[in-house]
Amino acid sequence: MSAKFPLELDQVLVQRKGKVLLGPLDLSLKKNGVTIILGPNGSGKTTLLRAMHGIERINGGRITWAQEDPAKHAFVFQSPVVLRRTVAQNLAFPLQLLNVPRAETEAAVAHWLTRIGLSGKSETAATRLSGGERQKLAIARALIRKPDVLFLDEPCANLDGYATREIETILGETAEAGTRLVMATHDMGQARRLADDIVFMLNGKVHETGAAEAVIARPQTEELSAFLKGDIVV
């Protein structure tokens, strides 16, 4: 693993209407691997992800990227947003925004259609896909620009086991190929399956963080211990 961090958060603070939603917090993400952000509802997981991606305005502190190109990080939302276009057109969209040549775009679209198993639905309206298919499409659309970092906000929430397994397979392959994954989830099983590092959030702050195996085996705080057991943490 590289010692150079691609992303550092220094005393980052997010406030809305006088209420602190996040921070102040410090966090460093290593260059490779999968970081899982755990925490109960309202703990600031989504706000943290959005702030790191740059779509949530921060009111204090600093977020420093080693890689400055915004096209090099992508985001997948909990409720997948699909354009009112065909599946193939949805996939092509991020490349068209960057004026990627048509032949290159078509090749990338064909590759990703095969990879997510939607080759037979390339000309179908994306809004007619199932929830799992939509989420796979959203992930492929995020990955088609070959980002260095992919943020995912509970991408498997409300999906059945089969769709979750398909998405985890894609994410596992993506991480192996070198894309940094930062993902919020409620699913402890998923955290165990995917995580290299865990960030446990509580009340807008990083409560505990470390290597996944160590954090899960030996939680240092009562709150994380309770959360891992499935108890209600507030």
Partner 1 sequence: MIDILDGLKAAFWLVISFDAELWEISLRSLRVTLSALIIASLIAIPLGTYLAVQRFRYRRFAISLINALMGLPPVVIGLLVYIALSRSGPFGVLNLLFTPTAMIIAQVIIITPVIASIAHQAMRELWAEYHDLLISLNTTKWQRIVTLIRDGRRNLLTAALAGFGRAIGEVGAIMVVGGNIDHVTRVLTTAIALETGKGDFALALALGFVLIGIAIVVNLAIHTLSRTEREGRW
Interacting residues with partner 1 (CB under 8 A): 53-55, 70-71, 74-75, 77, 81, 83-86, 89, 93-94, 97, 123-125, 128
CB of 133 to partner 1, least distance (A): 14
Angle formed at CA 38 by CA 35 and CA 41, multiple of 5 degrees: 145
Cα–Cα dist 170/201, whole Å: 26
Spatial distance between the Cα atoms of 153 and 56, rounded to a whole number of angstroms: 14
**Minimum distance, C-beta of residue 6 to partner 1, in the bound complex (Å):** 17
Compute the distance between CA of residue 15 and CA of residue 22 in angstroms, rounded to an integer.
7
Of 63 and 83, which CB lies nearer to partner 1 in the complex structure? 83
CB of 157 to partner 1, least distance (A): 16
Q: How far apart are CA 200 and CA 206, in angstroms?
A: 6
Phi-psi region of 91 (alpha: psi -120 to 50; beta: other; left: phi over 0): alpha
Nearer to partner 1, 53 or 207 (CB): 53
Q: What are phi and psi of 228, to 5 degrees?
A: -65, -30
Compute the least distance from the CB of residue 82 to partner 1, in Å.
Answer: 9
124 vs 203, which CB is nearer to partner 1? 124
Least separation in angstroms between residue 77's CB and partner 1 is 6
- Closest CB 89 distance from partner 1, rounded Å: 8
User: Smaller CB distance to partner 1: residue 127 or 221?
Assistant: 127
Nearer to partner 1, 83 or 100 (CB): 83
Q: How many helices (H) and strands (E) does the chain have?
A: 8, 9
Q: From CA 39, how far away is CA 175, in angstroms rounded?
A: 22
Beta carbon of residue 100, minimum distance to partner 1 (angstroms, whole number):
13
Distances (CA, A) of 170 to 115, 133, 152, 181, 222: 8, 13, 13, 12, 34
Cα distances from 186 to residues 59, 94, 139, in angstroms, run 27, 29, 19
When the beta carbons of 123 and 162 are compared against partner 1, the nearer one is 123
Q: Which is nearer to partner 1, 85 or 193 (CB)?
A: 85
* Amino acid letter for position 6: P
